[in-house]
């Protein structure tokens, strides 16, 4: 049996209402486009979180396949047409170029792809997040693949005991670096603790060399040289039999951490795990959300999804996220709720500074 590729490609091509959700008409259009791809795909699902439309595809073309990327691009174009017809908000906002040149990387859509030999049983989780950035997955991926207090398999499963290899991308300098854990744990943390610049891109099993996780690391704001929309990320994680158990993969989300990207891409808030039905962020355009869709692969077919955060065991995490949201909101336009100056996606600072220039009296 040849290898299977899981490609998760997402874009915000128009919101309903404002930036809060994806209209059903866009999802229907996306399904229609992917169905028409015939045998190019083994299987597909269309999903969404907030205003981000996600195409989950399986196929035999490998990662970075021009045919798959073109299919995704054309699907987003068709959905943009639909969004324009309904005058949805920000129609086509993540499609940065008019001409497709063989690969959607760097063009706007977020891409997380992995190719592997399907195991006798292959459970995967597709995470989709809205109102945040790719580095939002740094902390949970660290916990899943490197923290024995989260993942007891690192201690007691012989197939995981060697640890995992982390590939980290410097999104500003466009460079990447690899760390072997647990040996280089402290070195890794120097970087991934700064998630706006350093993002975990891949995780690999040291035991087998197999890919274990992948994150979309596009940063739209840097790609366009100006703010054009948020780079709300997706992430795929393989589970069980030498990989972390499903419950170890979901566990970090039980303690919501603070991430950047809330309201106007310029505020910090808790990442709230939620079900598909709860994935419409409307409180101050948030708080940031993450949905987890579970699948079993069967010869590349997607058996699922199972809506993993619908479990009431995550109710307390949601409650805690709401309490943190209340607390953070009290700061209004003050840091650290509002991002620091360099990270904000909206600012009036240069304009106001210019207008008041004459009123600044030099000191000393
Ligand atoms: C977009 C987002 C929103 C917008 C905000 C202002 O995903 O997070 O918070 O930034 O609604 O949107 P505009 O500037 O389009 O009116
Ligand atoms: Mg939007
Ligand atoms: Mg979004």
Place of tokens 């300098």: 173
The candidate with the shortest Cα–Cα distance to 138, out of 110, 102, 169, 175, is 169
The pLDDT profile of the chain, 364 residues, written as one tens digit per residue, is 589 999 999 999 999 999 999 999 999 999 999 999 999 999 999 999 999 999 999 999 999 999 999 999 999 999 999 999 999 999 998 887 777 777 887 778 999 999 999 999 999 999 999 999 999 999 999 999 999 999 999 999 999 999 999 999 998 888 999 999 999 999 999 999 999 999 999 999 999 999 999 999 877 677 776 666 568 999 999 999 999 999 999 999 999 999 999 999 999 999 999 999 999 999 999 999 999 999 999 999 999 999 999 999 999 999 999 999 999 999 999 999 999 988 877 789 889 999 999 999 999 8
Q: What is the pLDDT of residue 229?
A: 58
Q: What is the pLDDT of residue 223?
A: 73
**Is 346 labeled as catalytic in the residue annotation?**
no
- Ligand nearest to the backbone CA of 11: 3
Cβ neighbours of residue 13 under 8 Å, at least 6 residues apart?
26, 53, 76, 79, 80, 83, 91, 92, 93, 94, 95
Q: Which mutation among 10, 14, 19, 286 tests ligand 1's pocket best, with the greatest number of atoms within 8 A of CB? A: 19
Q: What is the pLDDT of residue 228?
A: 63
**Is 12 labeled as catalytic in the residue annotation?**
yes
Distance 153 CA to ligand 1 centre (A): 41
Determine the Cα–Cα distance for residues 329 and 276; give it in Å rounded to an integer: 25
Distance 15 CA to ligand 2 centre (A): 6
19 in contact with ligand 1, CB cutoff 6 A: yes
* Bridge partner list, 129: 290
Q: What is the pLDDT of residue 308?
A: 98
Distance 31 CA to ligand 2 centre (A): 21
111 in contact with ligand 1, CB cutoff 6 A: no
What Rg do the C-alpha atoms of the chain give, in angstroms? 20
Strands 4-11 and 52-59: antiparallel
Q: What is the pLDDT of residue 227?
A: 61
CA distances from 132 to 65, 308, 326 (A): 27, 20, 18
Closest approach atom of ligand 1 to CA 263 = 9
- Ligand nearest to the backbone CA of 13: 2
Determine the Cα–Cα distance for residues 33 and 37; give it in Å rounded to an integer: 7
265 in contact with ligand 1, CB cutoff 6 A: yes
Determine the Cα–Cα distance for residues 268 and 274; give it in Å rounded to an integer: 18
131 in contact with ligand 1, CB cutoff 6 A: yes
129 in contact with ligand 1, CB cutoff 6 A: no
The residue whose CA has the least distance to atom 9 of ligand 1 is 263
285 in contact with ligand 1, CB cutoff 6 A: yes
**Is 87 labeled as catalytic in the residue annotation?**
no
Catalytic residue among 12, 43, 130, 285: 12
Q: What is the pLDDT of residue 326?
A: 98
Reading the block at residue 271, the tokens are: 């990442």
Distance 121 CA to ligand 1 centre (A): 41
Reading the block at residue 295, the tokens are: 């699948």
Determine the Cα–Cα distance for residues 268 and 135; give it in Å rounded to an integer: 13
Distance 91 CA to ligand 2 centre (A): 9
Determine the Cα–Cα distance for residues 132 and 77; give it in Å rounded to an integer: 24
Determine the Cα–Cα distance for residues 254 and 155; give it in Å rounded to an integer: 21
Catalytic residue among 10, 131, 201, 230: 230
């Amino acid at each position: 049996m040849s290898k299977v590729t899981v490609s998760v490609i997402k874009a915000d091509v128009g919101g309903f209402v404002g930036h809060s959700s994806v209209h059903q008409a866009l999802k229907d259009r996306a399904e229609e486009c992917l169905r028409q791809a015939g045998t190019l795909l083994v299987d597909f699902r269309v999903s969404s979180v907030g205003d981000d439309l996600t195409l989950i595809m399986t196929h035999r073309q490998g990662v970075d396949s021009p045919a798959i990327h073109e299919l995704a691009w054309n699907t987003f174009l068709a959905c943009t047409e639909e969004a324009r017809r309904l005058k949805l908000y920000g129609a086509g906002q993540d499609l940065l170029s008019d001409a497709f040149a063989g690969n959607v990387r760097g063009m706007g859509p977020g891409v997380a792809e992995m190719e592997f030999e399907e195991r006798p049983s292959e459970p995967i989780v597709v995470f989709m997040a809205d109102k945040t950035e790719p580095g939002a997955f740094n902390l949970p991926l660290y916990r899943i693949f490197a923290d024995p207090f989260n993942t007891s398999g690192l201690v007691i499963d012989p197939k995981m005991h060697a640890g995992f290899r982390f590939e980290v991308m410097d999104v500003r300098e466009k460079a990447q670096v690899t760390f072997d854990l647990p040996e280089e744990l402290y070195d890794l943390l120097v970087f991934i603790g700064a998630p706006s610049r350093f993002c975990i891109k891949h995780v690999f099993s040291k035991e087998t060399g197999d890919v274990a996780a992948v994150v979309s690391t596009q940063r739209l704001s840097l790609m366009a040289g100006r703010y054009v929309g948020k780079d709300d990320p997706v992430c795929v994680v393989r589970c069980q039999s030498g990989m972390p158990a499903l419950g170890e993969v979901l566990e970090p989300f039980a303690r919501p951490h603070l991430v950047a990207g809330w309201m106007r891409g310029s505020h910090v808030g808790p990442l709230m795990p939620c079900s598909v039905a709860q994935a419409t962020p409307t409180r101050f355009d948030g708080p940031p959300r993450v949905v987890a869709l579970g699948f079993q692969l069967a010869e590349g077919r997607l058996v699922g999804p199972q809506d993993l955060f619908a479990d009431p065991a995550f109710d307390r995490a949601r409650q805690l996220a709401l309490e943190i949201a209340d607390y953070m909101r009290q700061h209004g336009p003050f840091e650290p709720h509002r991002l620091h100056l360099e990270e904000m996606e909206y600012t009036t600072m240069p304009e106001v500074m210019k207008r008041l220039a004459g009123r600044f009296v030099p000191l000393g």
